[in-house]
Amino acid sequence: MTDSAPAAPVAIDDFFKVDIRLGTVLTAEPFPEARKPAYKLRIDFGPEIGIKQSSVQITALYSLDDLPGRQVLGVVNLPPRQIGKFRSEVLTLGLPDADGNVALIGVDRPLSNGARLF
């Protein structure tokens, strides 16, 4: 799939298999071992999911101080991904700007951690 071409249709049942939840970033740390500039995040997805960690390539648009307290969306039911010595447990969602830098997807008002997108 390219950025300009629409994706192939997907059945609604398949869409609902993707578990996208809202979480609050607790901590953000540098990830100097990553091949591309990245941060390590610890995100609280509420009592059902818990605290998960994620590697995110968002260094162009965010400083480490911008992230704690920010609410973000993440896919919580993908298999963990090993990135060097770091285990990324969720896929934190974002969209690229005109220069390819990733902007995080969040909400415009505080909501409960663990809220599910549907």
Q: Tell me the pLDDT tens digit for each residue of 24-47.
A: 999 999 999 999 999 999 999 999
Residue 88 has pLDDT above 60, yes or no: yes
Name the pLDDT band for 11 (thresholds 50, 70, 90).
very high
Q: Is 84 in a helix, a strand, or coil?
A: coil
- Whole-number Å distance between alpha carbons of 73 and 24: 9
pLDDT of residue 1: 44
Residue 2 has pLDDT above 70, yes or no: no
Write down all domains in the chain, each with its CATH number in brackets. Answer: 24-104 (2.40.50.140)
Residue 108 has pLDDT above 60, yes or no: yes
- Encoding tokens for residue 83? 């990135």
- Whole-number Å distance between alpha carbons of 118 and 110: 17
- Whole-number Å distance between alpha carbons of 74 and 52: 10
Order of strands across the sheet that contains 20-30: 51-56, 39-44, 20-30, 71-75, 91-92
State mean pLDDT over 13-30.
Answer: 96
Residue 118 has pLDDT above 90, yes or no: no
Residue 99 has pLDDT above 90, yes or no: yes
Are 91 and 74 within 8 A, CB to CB?
yes
Q: Which residues are CB-contacts of 107 (< 8 A; sequence separation ≥ 6)?
A: 22, 71, 73
pLDDT of residue 73: 98
- Parallel, antiparallel, or unpaired: how do β-strands 91-92 and 102-104 relate? unpaired
pLDDT of residue 5: 81
pLDDT of residue 44: 98
